Each structure stands twice: as structure tokens, then as C-alpha cells.
Amino acid sequence: MMLLARIRLVIFAMVLLGIAASGPASAQKLGPDGAPNPTASVASERDLLKQFPRVEGRIDIPDTKAGVLIHPAGRTWDYFHEVLLRWGGAIVILGTIALLALAYMMLGRIRIAAGRSGRKILRFRDFERFSHWLTAASFVILGLTGLNITFGKILLLPVIGPDAFSGVSQAAKYVHNFTSFSFVAGLVLIAVIFFRDNLLERVDIDWLKQGGGFIKNKHAPAGRFNLGEKLVYWFSLGAGVAVSVSGFLLLFPFYGTDISDMELAQVVHAVIALLFIALILGHIYIGTLGMEGAFEAMGTGEVDLNWAKEHHDRWLAEQLANQNRQEEPSAGEVVR
């Protein structure tokens, strides 16, 4: 906000300088009949738009945003929303799905190589799973209701007709606006409780060198989270903050923002959200279809010991060591 205010101040100063510089020089010109030309000092629309992104002036009503007379960038935003965003979004989402399908066909489901041991170990506590599913459910609702704004009139409108589509879209708009709060709450929880385990470590380089667990005869070492999961965490955090900030700007229109800021907020919101959806599609794939034994970590909270050994060996070693340490002193007490 401070930066925006400063930029606006600079533009305002430039306007004043421009008027001061151009005023006196042109004011003395005479018209064709020898009389002073009343338009000599008028800045033409073309000149104003060459100098500034939009033509603004004074307005008699309290609604300050009405002082913008001509804002050609509206058409640019229209082009972004109707062409770039629609094609870009379709390519990103369908492309991600195609890539995941290709990965499934080439790699298949990554099995637990040693088979299930039958022994379970706790991977995510109840509160951790609650935080994850709060964010996940919010994300799916936000994603679908958001995509409706861009793709609904092409995909859904022809199917259910304009009246029903309008009702659905109106409801979707309110659902989108209010689900944002549970999403932000979940995002904050996730950011806090998983922060320490997502800091990058030396072992992440080894994990990458060993092909990230995608090469069958190589073992990729990892702590509680491997590099892939850490990247999902950090990208989600970045994208989550970006969509939240831009989203709240859109939720409170024209509070400290002008028309260009609102358009920019929408562009950021839409572009980041689409990339976020692509990222989460990959996250959903590897957590369900792509890998045996992965879903139960967030499902029941407990994973098979052999799965943990193959994907998070260091974390498993730590957990087992902790368990032993807890058991030993109590055993000692009995001896005494």
C-alpha cells in the first residue's frame, strides 16, 4: 500500500510538472481567424493516453473511482481474461492431467517393494490431518467455484441453461468468498506445524541424485519429508499467500486500490491459482494413484513400516530410536 501510494504521488507530481511545462508555451497560439484558439492548450485524448495509462479528472461525486474518464487497459484486461487466461488455463490444467496420465502409463503405481510388513507407524497426528484436510477441502471448493468464473460459461452454461447457471454461479461466488477464510486458516496451520520438517537439508541432494524414488533399483533417502514434498510445501505456501492477498484485495474492492490495482489483483489471483491447481493435481496423483501406501498417511495417519523404510528411512530411524529411548528408562526403573 505504501509503495502504491508513493507511485501515485510520483505520477501526480509528473502530471503537475507536465501541466506546468506545457501550459504557458501553448496558451498564446492563435486560431485561424486570428482570435486566441480556445483549444490551443487542451491536451488531446491521444496525447494524454500516450503519457498516462488513463485519462483522469475531477469529479463532483464522492465516488473517487468515477474520476477515471477513459481507461483503455480495460480492453487489455478483457483480452487477458477471455483469451490468455482461458487458453493458458486450459493448457496448464489439461497438460498437467496428460503428464500425470503419461507418468502413470510409464511408471505405473509405485509399489512397496518389500511388500507390507503388517506393522504400522504413526506418520500424521489427528491435528496435522485436520489441518491438511481443512485446507484440502477448502482448496477443492475454491478451485471448482473459481474455475466456474473462467470456464463455466463454456462448459456448464450450455448444459444447464442460463437461469440455472446464473443461480449456480451466484451461489458459487459466495461460497468462494467465504471458503477463503477456512483456506487461509488451514494454510496458516500447515505452514506452522510442518515448517521445521520442510527446511532443506543435505539429504535432499542425495534424494535428488537417487532419482527421487522413481527409479526402481535405487533407494532415495529422506527425512520426514523428501525434497518433492518440501517443494510442494514451499510452492503451496508461496502460491497460498499470493492468492490470499490478491483474493482479499478482490474481496474488498477499491479499498486503497484503483482500477489498475484491481485488474492486477485479478490477474495475479487467476494465474497463480491455475498454477496452484496444477501443482495440487500432481500432489493428489502421487498421494493416491501414483504410490501404494501413501494415502493412508493422511487417511488413517498410520503408514506401513516397509513403506516408511523405502520412502522416509531417516525419519523412520529417528522415530524408532525415539521409541526405544522412551522404553529404556521405564525398563530400568523396573530393574531397580
Partner 1 sequence: MARMKFLCDADRCIDCNACVTACKNENEVPWGINRRRVVTINDGKPGERSVSMACMHCTDAPCAAVCPVVCIYPTEDGVVLHNKDLCIGCGYCFYACPFGAPQYPKVGNFGSRGKMDKCTYCAGGGGDEAPGSAEEFAKYGSNRFGEGKLPLCAEMCSTKSLLAGDGEIIAQIYRERVLRRGYGSGAWGWLTAYHQGIEV
Site string for partner 1, 127-166 (x = CB under 8 A): ---------------------xxx-xx---x----xx-xx
**Exposed e or buried b for every residue in 290-318, given b needs 16+ CB within 10 A?**
bbbbbbbbbeebebbbbbbbbbbbebbee
For residues 178 and 236, what is the distance between their CA atoms, to the nearest angstrom?
20
Q: Which of residues 266-325 bind partner 1 (CB under 8 A)?
A: 266
Tell me how far, at minimum, the Cβ of 271 lies from partner 1, in Å.
15
- Residue among 66, 113, 114, 200 that touches partner 1 (CB under 8 A): 66
The answer to whether residues 315 and 308 touch, using CB atoms and an 8 Å cutoff, is yes
**DSSP class of residue 116?**
-
For residues 143 and 240, what is the distance between their CA atoms, to the nearest angstrom?
12
The residue with cell 480556445 is 38
Torsion of CA 36, 42, 44, 50, to 10 degrees: 130
Nearer to partner 1, 53 or 212 (CB): 53
Handedness of CA 82, 74, 250, 164 (dihedral sign): negative
- Residue among 68, 99, 231, 241 that touches partner 1 (CB under 8 A): 68
- Under the criterion CB under 8 A, does residue 101 sit at the interface with partner 1? no
Q: Which of residues 2-41 bind partner 1 (CB under 8 A)?
A: 19, 23, 26-27, 31-33, 37-41
Binding segment toward partner 1, per CB under 8 A, in 51-59, 87-95, 97-105, 225-233: 51-59
- What would the grid cell of residue 153 be? 460459461
Q: Total number of residues binding partner 1 (CB under 8 A)? A: 66
Q: Euclidean distance between the first and final Cα of the chain, in Å? A: 67
Tell me how far, at minimum, the Cβ of 276 lies from partner 1, in Å.
20
Nearer to partner 1, 45 or 328 (CB): 45
Residues that bind partner 1 (CB under 8 A): 19, 23, 26-27, 31-33, 37-46, 48, 55-61, 63, 65-75, 77-78, 81-82, 148-150, 152-153, 157, 162-163, 165-166, 169-170, 173-174, 176-178, 251-254, 259, 262-263, 266
